[in-house]
Amino acid sequence: MELTREQKEECKSVFNLFDRKNDQTIASTDIGLALRGLRVSISDAELKLIADDVERNKGGKLTLEQFLQMFTDHARDVLTPEKLQGYFAALDTSRTGKIRVTELKNALLNQNEHISEPEIDEILKDFGVSGDGEVDYRSFSTFLLA
């Protein structure tokens, strides 16, 4: 898969944020945060394998080119509003474009090991939803990944 110009620019921006020593590399310990900053959905176990490989075979650091290749290898795992909407649509049995807040919370908690219920409540509050009402999941997906 070939990255678009926009994807390359976004990768470079994220890479530069983690190039703490300004030596054109990022540390293996920052790879997970960098990939997640690019909305790559990746498990902790897979990140550990990647970080261990970088430690063993790349001196504990990645260059921009290596990081771009890593992103390319995992680009299929990038969470987009469309993918998220598809997931939520499966919960929308009445096909109204809305799901209950409790369903949304459960879905997010079950699919993301890095988010807590209080964090989800804060996101919902920022989106303008509280209590056990319903959420337009199309708008929410766009909001969440903006």
- Mean pLDDT by runs of 10 across the 146 residues of the chain is 85 94 93 86 82 88 92 75 83 88 83 75 83 83 79
What was the pLDDT predicted at 63? 94
The answer on 102 and 56 residing in a single domain is: no
What was the pLDDT predicted at 117? 85
What was the pLDDT predicted at 30? 92
Distance CA 122, CA 132 (A): 14
Distance CA 116, CA 112 (A): 9
What was the pLDDT predicted at 131? 65
Distance CA 145, CA 123 (A): 11
What was the pLDDT predicted at 145? 74
Residue with tokens 């809305």: 98
The answer on 106 and 69 residing in a single domain is: no
Q: pTM of the entire structure?
A: 0.57
The answer on 88 and 50 residing in a single domain is: no
The answer to whether the CB of 68 falls within 8 A of the CB of 3 is yes
Tokens of 28: 């293996």
The answer on 95 and 69 residing in a single domain is: no
Distance CA 135, CA 98 (A): 5
The answer on 60 and 116 residing in a single domain is: no
Distance CA 65, CA 70 (A): 9
Residue ending a domain, choose from 77, 92, 111: 77
Q: Print burial letters for 106-115: b (CB count within 10 Å at least 16), e (below 16).
A: ebbeeeeeee
What was the pLDDT predicted at 93? 85
